[in-house]
Homo-oligomer: A and B are copies of this chain.
Amino acid sequence: MVSILEERNFPVEALRLFASARSEGKTIPFRGNPVRIERLTPDSFDRNIDLLFFSAGTAISREYASIAAKLGIFVVDNSSCWRMEEAVPLVVPEVNSDALSPEKKIIANPNCSTIQMVCALYPLHRRVRIKRIIVSTYQAVSGAGQKAIVELESQIKTLAEGNRVNPVVFPYQIAHNLIPQIDVFLENGYTKEEMKMVNETRKIMGDDSLMITATCVRVPVYVGHSEAVTVDFAEKLSAAEATEILKSAPGVTVIDDPSKLLYPLPILAAGRDEVFVGRIRKDLSVENGISFWVVSDNLRKGAALNAVQIGEVLLQKKFFRGSI
């Protein structure tokens, strides 16, 4: 988050960092200077703060975002705790920055898998109404945090040495394996991650009539979520038309040339800002359908970058109280 603020020259007058007691006193570099981490307490925030980015668990987000909002501070929250609250905008700037308003201080940053999918779907939906979305994900371990990256690395090493692994972060070995479960299971047999894709997509695209089903799978990839998406449209939209639309879609880069074996790959998307789309083709199983493959860096567009971009829109819209 801090490095993305720096990369994008976000007009930060003063950066303050808050964390739990455990991190208090450590520093993170910003524009060449170390910034000391302060301990987060209910009295941490004051009216000199314009904007807060939250990247914490849902309990902390719920408590502290409320405190900040009461002080008139904008909060862009990465957790899932505010996303489905009706009064809270759930924003992907390329899609629905119009959901932002000066009064709505708490803004939710969507789920990583949802962000990259809606970046590709929304421009198509604007042209021809989408009726149904079927998505299968191939999600990188970094979506489960730094510990998950270490777990995959260490499992690969352990298995290479001929030893058995002892999963901690994931419920099963993830090295050389797939886990068709991300987040907990709900009553309807779907995981929370899958239902996030269903519900958040509807909210961001502003269309509750969208029919969506998802299968979310963890794969032994470090960074970059991939998705196989099949879309049914209300009317005809050819693969060529979809490609043209996506080529000029904000935040989207089309990589799609089968003759040269060009299509999006997680190792090429890692570290990049764009949502990469390829394998755009007519869905063979329905009259008006398109299938495609979307890959994006889940840590950037899927998380910190999208949050910072929301901050940029707030700035553009001049929602802050004067100082910036």
Contact = CB atoms under 8 A, between A and B. Distances in A.
B211 A138 contact: no
Interface string A249-269: 000000000110101111100
B171 A215 contact: no
A284 B177 CA distance: 27
Interface residues of A, number: 55
Contact of A228 (B136, B177, B198, B258): B136
Interface stretch (A47-55, A181-189, A306-314): A181-189
Interface in A272-305: 278-286, 289, 291, 293
Counted per complex, copies of this chain come to: 2
A200 to B, nearest CB: 14
B177 A266 contact: yes
Nearest to A219: B219
Contact of A281 (B190, B228, B259, B284): B190
Contacts of A228: 136, 180, 215, 217
Nearest to A239: B189
A310 to B, nearest CB: 28
Nearest to A289: B213
A226 B134 contact: no
Given A228-B136, A261-B171, A213 B284 contact: yes
A156 interface: yes
Given A178-B138, A282-B188, A172 B219 contact: no
Given A282-B189, A285-B132, A178 B259 contact: no
B132 A226 contact: no
Contacts of A278: 180
B178 A211 contact: no
A220 interface: yes
B285 A178 contact: no
A2 interface: no
Contact of A180 (B160, B219, B293): B293
Contacts of A259: 185
A185 B293 CA distance: 15
Interface string A102-125: 000000000000000000000000
B286 A211 contact: yes
Contacts of A178: 138, 219, 221, 226, 265-266
A148 interface: no
A285 B132 CA distance: 6
A69 to B, nearest CB: 33
Interface string A211-250: 1110101011110001010100000000100000000000
Q: Give the top 4 A-B pairs by smallest Cβ distance, nearest first.
A: A189-B281, A136-B136, A185-B258, A211-B285
Given A176-B222, A190-B281, 14 more contacts: A132-B285, A134-B134, A136-B215, A173-B267, A176-B267, A180-B265, A190-B284, A211-B286, A212-B285, A213-B283, A213-B289, A215-B279, A215-B291, A217-B228
